[in-house]
């Protein structure tokens, strides 16, 4: 069965920064989509902030099994209506991969319920991402670590909730460490935060990084039936076992939700 992936790219740096445009002439979003399409079981498309409804129309999201999110300079330009729409799809079962500076995106902060803040430094230093959960599907074929010769440093504390699992821990040339691969569940949806991806370095051409992205899409695809969130009233005469009604009720029979 084909996994339908949608890569969302902010597509701002590619248009405003000569270095980024030179490294990613077709945009980071298209580079990532091309990496995913190397896997015959994945069919990836890309959309951007500049597209109508940021490319995340109801139709696009309805036909997305896993959404990848890269943002940095324009988090505030993302419509709250679109964030609501993406959140609903994650709760229903759509997978979400949040990349690099997407830690500060509206959708990631919404799903985490925290500030998602961290330390950072841009000095082109070496990063080694150690695999600390070698049995996890996301790291299969990666080996003991991923080494990136030049990257931006992210440092602890990382203000996110404790994850379900930690997949990578990064060690930087300057001495800092960072939890660089974290997995969560929200509703029926699986979420993977993956740290590498600074725009002025060719990180999304690295074969091991591309391997992680493909593995993560496989891992994050929906499982089982789609969960539709609701809050129905179940009358006493429809309970699995008999229920004797005692006292007065504030709610009318069949009323949805709570007041």
Structure confidence at residue 227 as a pLDDT band (50, 70, 90) = confident
Beta bridge partners of 98: 69, 193
Q: Is residue 253 part of a domain?
A: no
Model confidence at 255, in pLDDT bands (50, 70, 90)? low
248 located within any domain = no
Would 151 be classed as within a structural domain? no
Q: Between these two residues, 233 and 253, which has the higher pLDDT value?
A: 233
73-94 pLDDT, tens per residue?
999 999 999 999 999 999 999 9
Confidence at 249, pLDDT banded by 50, 70, 90: confident
Question: When comparing pLDDT for 232 and 158, which is higher?
Answer: 158
Q: Does some domain include residue 165?
A: no
Give me the phi and psi of 179, to 5 degrees please: -80, 100
> pLDDT at position 70, please?
98
Q: Would residue 94 count as lying in a domain?
A: yes
- What tens digit of pLDDT does each residue of 148-181 get? 999 999 999 999 999 999 999 999 999 999 999 9
**pTM (predicted TM-score):** 0.93
How confident is the prediction for the chain on average, in pLDDT? 94
pLDDT of 196 above 60:
yes
> Is the residue at 89 inside a domain?
yes
Mean pLDDT over residues 30-56, rounded?
98
Q: Report yes or no: 127 and 171 within 8 Å, Cβ to Cβ.
A: yes
Q: Which domain holds residue 50?
A: 3-113+181-220
Distance CA(70)–CA(93), nearest Å, equals 20
* Cβ-proximal residues to 196 (8 Å cutoff; 6+ apart), any chain: 99, 100, 127, 129, 146, 148, 151, 180, 203, 206, 209
pLDDT at position 65: 98
Cα–Cα distances (Å) from 58 to 7, 52, 101, 177, in that order, read 15, 12, 25, 39
pLDDT at 256: 57
CATH number at residue 25: 3.40.50.880
**198 in a domain, yes or no?**
yes
pLDDT score at 258: 46
Question: Measured between alpha carbons, how far is 228 from 185 in angstroms, rounded to an integer?
Answer: 16
- How many structural domains does the chain have? 1
On the question of pLDDT at 229 being above 80, the answer is no
Select from 96, 62, 80, 51 the least CA-distant residue to 191.
96
- Kindly state the average pLDDT of the residues 97-119: 98
Residue 30, in any domain of the structure: yes
């Amino acid at each position: 069965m084909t996994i339908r992936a949608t890569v969302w790219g902010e597509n701002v740096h590619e248009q405003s920064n000569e270095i980024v445009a030179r490294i990613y002439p077709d945009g980071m979003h298209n580079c990532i989509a091309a990496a995913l399409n190397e896997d015959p079981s994945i069919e990836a498309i890309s959309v951007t902030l500049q597209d109508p409804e940021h490319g995340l129309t109801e139709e696009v999201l309805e036909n997305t099994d896993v959404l990848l999110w890269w943002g940095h300079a324009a988090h505030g330009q993302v419509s709250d209506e679109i964030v609501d729409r993406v959140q609903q799809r994650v709760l229903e079962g759509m997978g979400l991969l949040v990349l690099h500076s997407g830690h500060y995106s509206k959708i990631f902060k919404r799903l985490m319920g925290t500030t998602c803040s961290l330390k950072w430094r841009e000095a082109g230093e070496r990063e080694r991402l150690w695999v600390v959960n070698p049995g996890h599907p996301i790291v299969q074929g990666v080996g003991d670590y991923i080494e990136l010769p030049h990257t931006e440093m992210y440092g602890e504390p990382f203000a996110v909730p404790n994850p379900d699992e930690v997949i990578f821990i990064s060690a930087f040339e300057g001495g800092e460490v960072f939890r660089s691969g974290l997995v969560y569940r929200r509703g029926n949806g699986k979420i993977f935060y993956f740290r590498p991806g600074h725009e002025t370095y060719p990180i999304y051409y690295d074969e091991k990084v591309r391997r992680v992205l493909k593995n993560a899409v496989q891992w994050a695809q929906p499982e089982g039936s789609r969960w539709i969130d609701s809050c129905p009233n179940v009358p006493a005469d429809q309970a699995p076992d008999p229920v004797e009604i005692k006292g007065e009720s504030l709610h009318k029979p069949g009323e949805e939700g709570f007041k």
